[in-house]
Chains A and B, each alone.
Chain A
Amino acid sequence: MIARLGKNIYMILIFLFLYAPVAVLIVFPLIKPVPGRSGVDLPP
């Protein structure tokens, strides 16, 4: 029971590690641009 739980937690952590940057890449375009960091408000 504990071993099974441990295995599941381990796999969840691995998938979290693998998919964290992918999630960032998906979410980033949806976030409002931050002034001064995105470059959109720089003077011409």
Chain B
Amino acid sequence: MISTVVCLLIGYPAAYILAKRSRARRGQSNFWLFLFIMPMWMNALLRTYAWLALLEPMGIVNTFLGYLGIGPFQFIYNDFGIGLGMVYNYLPFMVLPIHSVLVKISPSLIEAAEDLGADSTRTFLRVTFPLSLPGILSGINMVFMPAMTTFLIPDLLGGGRYLLIGNAIERQFMVSRDMTTGSALSILLMIFVLASMRILTKYEQESSEGGLLA
């Protein structure tokens, strides 16, 4: 949940800037978007191991901070490490749907708001943000579901000390060999995921029908 909120807080401004550039210079923004997606072509496990190398107590970041006379800090094997890993892995899933919605907003709507005397903040709050709500909801959907079911990132960056539902299921199957409990937990998780999807789809329909705009 926290990683979804952080993804939204970091991803929305990034998507907004990319969309603005896309409207100003059509070809160049596609390049920036391409740069945004490119790290995701690499395997998630490899990238998570790279974060381990960066953030471990004798890692690259702590060595660099040591030269400056700061630290060492404990970046991994705690909540911060897990949050960072999740935000890193799922950030593009938040940015892409928001960007695709923001790009489609007609510039004439923003011009009309400005003509009617709205400043840039008011235009954003009353026009751009409500129109981008379907993208935000899709982004939340795309980040929240995998973030809830992940077990690899908490295992590596949390040092196996954090038990998320994904880890609990993995341990039931791989360690305890208790497939019955593992299956029961999986079904519970599936019900929770489906319920979350249903709620989000309902809000998405409402916002596309103008329910949230009114």
Q: Does A2 contact B (CB under 8 A)?
A: no
User: Which one, B10-18, B68-76, B127-135, B185-193, is touching chain A?
Assistant: B10-18
| Majority secondary structure of chain A interface residues (helix, strand, loop or mixed) | helix
Q: Are A11 and B88 in contact (CB under 8 A)?
A: no
Quote the shortest CB–CB distance from A24 to chain B (angstroms): 4
Please, how many angstroms separate the alpha-carbon atoms of A21 and B17 in the complex?
23
The one of A7, A15, A21, A28 that contacts B88, using a Cβ cutoff of 8 Å: A21
Q: Report A-chain residues with C-beta under 8 Å of the C-beta of B47.
A: 21-22, 25
- Which residue of chain B has its CB nearest to the CB of A25? B50
Within residues 1 to 44 of chain A, which ones have a CB less than 8 A from any CB in chain B? Answer: 7, 10-11, 14-15, 17-22, 24-25, 28
| Majority secondary structure of chain B interface residues (helix, strand, loop or mixed) | helix
Quote the shortest CB–CB distance from B105 to chain A (angstroms): 18
Please, how many angstroms separate the alpha-carbon atoms of A19 and B92 in the complex?
13
Please, how many angstroms separate the alpha-carbon atoms of A18 and B47 in the complex?
10
User: Which one, B34-42, B143-151, B173-181, B196-204, is touching chain A?
Assistant: B34-42
Please, how many angstroms separate the alpha-carbon atoms of A20 and B25 in the complex?
27
- Which residue of chain A has its CB nearest to the CB of B120? A3
Interface residues of B (CB under 8 A from A): 10, 13-14, 17, 32, 35-36, 39, 42, 46-48, 50-51, 53-54, 60, 88, 91
* Shortest beta-carbon contacts, A-B, top 5: A21-B50, A24-B50, A21-B47, A18-B39, A25-B50
